């Protein structure tokens, strides 16, 4: 991916290296999780998106795991600390390009796109939805309209999920930006209102549709990146592999050895790759209405 040709965003906050709070408090109540609960959250959060705690009513926000800094963006161990970090430049430029694409699309819809802020951190940091940590992975918090990303996530996406490459990493960012698009369009508010009245099974099914739409929105961004010749040969396949690698069935099979479809919260490997491809093929946000699909 020719990410060096993309415009860097000014809406990126770098908290990496800053002191982080301890424990895993939820919301404003200061409740802390035991080890078993943390493990459960880690498993559920192995896929990126809105924070799963949101669906349990524990916090008001939005996410899965960690991905490699794109190979050409990996800093050399000998690079002086004063030198720019290529991985951070990659994030800024990817975010900047999503801003350009969604600004144009919102203008076509007769509206104004309000970009979110992406917060880069290491280890843990505070968010408007509570504590953000490497364990929960990248997520979008609708309470403060920010995306939270531990940049080491990119290394895990490559090592653990076998999805290396810059476009795979960009897909992760574009997916989270997709949640902000949902928030600005009012989709997330409707989802939360409906999910609060639903039982666990229905809530999971709604969550799958929400996540698949964010995958499709990520594909919409990819469509315009390709249209401007910013993608290299093999990038699309790279992104599709990443989408499939974080499917609920793939995660469950790796964690448990078997699959429980009713427990899906983000969609199967096939669904995630299919809806990502939908956006990549059409470039039309209107084609991403997963809530209207009979079977997403």
Tens of pLDDT, residue by residue over 97-154, are: 999 999 999 999 999 999 999 999 999 999 999 988 877 789 999 999 999 999 788 8
Would residue 295 count as lying in a domain? no
d(CA 238, CA 252): 22
Would residue 175 count as lying in a domain? yes
Range of the domain at 251: 3-288
d(CA 219, CA 126): 29
Would residue 133 count as lying in a domain? yes
Would residue 42 count as lying in a domain? yes
Would residue 255 count as lying in a domain? yes
| Count of structural domains within the chain | 1
Q: Please give the model's pTM, rounded to 2 decimal places.
A: 0.79
Within 10 Å of residue 260's Cβ, how many Cβ atoms?
Answer: 10
Backbone angles phi, psi at 14, to 5 degrees: -100, 105
Could you tell me the two tokens for 270? 């096939």
Would residue 296 count as lying in a domain? no
Would residue 294 count as lying in a domain? no
Q: 109 Cβ partners below 8 Å, 6+ apart?
A: none
Q: What is the pLDDT of residue 100?
A: 98
Residue 87's SS3 state is: helix
Would residue 152 count as lying in a domain? yes
């Amino acid at each position: 991916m020719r990410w060096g040709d993309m415009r860097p965003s000014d809406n990126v906050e770098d908290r990496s290296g800053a002191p982080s709070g301890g424990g895993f408090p939820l919301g404003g109540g200061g409740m802390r999780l035991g080890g078993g609960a943390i493990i459960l959250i880690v498993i559920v959060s192995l896929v990126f998106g809105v924070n799963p705690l949101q669906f349990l009513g524990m916090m008001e926000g939005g996410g899965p795991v960690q991905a490699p800094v794109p190979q050409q963006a990996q800093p050399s161990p000998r690079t002086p600390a004063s030198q720019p970090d290529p991985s951070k430049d990659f994030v800024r430029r990817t975010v900047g390009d999503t801003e350009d694409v969604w600004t144009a699309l919102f203008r076509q819809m007769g509206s104004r796109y309000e970009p979110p802020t992406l917060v880069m951190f290491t280890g843990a940091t505070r968010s408007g939805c509570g504590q953000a940590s490497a364990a929960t992975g990248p997520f979008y918090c609708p309470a403060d309209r920010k995306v939270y990303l531990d940049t080491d996530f990119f290394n895990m996406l490559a090592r653990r999920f076998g999805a290396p490459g810059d476009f795979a990493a960009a897909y992760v960012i574009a997916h989270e930006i997709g949640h902000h698009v949902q928030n600005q369009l009012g989709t997330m508010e409707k989802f939360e209102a409906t999910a609060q009245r639903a039982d666990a099974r229905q809530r999971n099914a709604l969550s799958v549709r929400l996540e698949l739409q964010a995958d499709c929105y990520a594909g919409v961004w990819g469509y315009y990146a390709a249209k401007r010749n910013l993608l290299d040969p093999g990038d699309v396949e790279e992104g599709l592999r990443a989408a499939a690698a974080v499917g609920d069935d793939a995660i469950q099979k790796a964690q448990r050895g078997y699959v429980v479809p009713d427990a899906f919260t983000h969609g199967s490997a096939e669904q995630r790759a299919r809806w990502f491809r939908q956006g990549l093929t059409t470039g039309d946000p209107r084609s991403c209405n997963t809530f209207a699909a009979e079977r997403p």
